[in-house]
Amino acid sequence: MFSLLKKLFYKNQKSEIGATETMKKFLIVGLGNIGTEYKNTRHNIGFKIVDHFAQKESLNFETKRLGDIAIYKFKGRMFIFLKPSTYMNLSGKAVKFWIEKEKVPLENVLIITDDLNLPFGTIRLKGKGSHGGHNGLKDIEDKLTTTNYCRFRFGVGNNFTKGRQIDYVLGEWDETELENMQTLLDKGVELIKSFVFEGLDKTMNFFNKKN
């Protein structure tokens, strides 16, 4: 009896976040930089989108290893939201740790990031691709040793002069952008839900065509 109880105890300790064996896990990663000085910058749109999801569903983030984690369970799915605390350029370390920790299949991982190559507010979902010069994606690619992971790219535009790219992405949203932000964040939440429940292909077909 003791050995059985011990086995059950350690089985329940494998996951920090209480998933059942039948529950499908999805790791939803919002990329960004920690610290109040970065909170409202374009580079932190990944944080902003997962924060918006958490707010709508009354979720709380808890500080854990390499990032803040929030959990949403619905209809047999577990959404594991991650905001890495490693700063943008080392995002891969946190992503790899939580994939391995919670045994999330790579096809169930979604990375949310800003994209200078898309007009403001344009969203694109892709199942694979290059990092395109984005340091967060570059580090994820390096740590996972693959480009075959899903990414949700949010266009921030490229309204900057030559050599001012860093200032632009680390700059705060302007008034016009903020006027449209609520609608865009709501769309981001719907995309995440569709990715989890409808899958990559259907979600790409629906959301990519709407832009």
DSSP string computed for 10-21: HHHTS-TT---T
Q: Out of 43, 52, 131, 134, pick the active-site residue.
A: 43
Amino acid (1-letter code) at residue 32: G
Gap between the terminal Cα atoms of the chain: 60
Has 43 been annotated as catalytic? yes
User: Known binder of ligand: residue 135?
Assistant: yes
Q: What angle do the packed helices 45-56 and 175-198 form, to 10 degrees? A: 70
Residues 6+ positions from 36 with CB-CB distance below 8 Å: none
User: Known binder of ligand: residue 180?
Assistant: no
Bridge partners of residue 112, in order along the sequence: 30, 152
Q: What angle do the packed helices 175-198 and 200-207 form, to 10 degrees? A: 150
Tokens standing for 49?
């989108």
Q: Point out the annotated binding site.
A: 38, 87, 89, 135
Q: Point out the annotated binding site for tRNA.
A: 38, 87, 89, 135
Active-site residue numbers?
Answer: 43
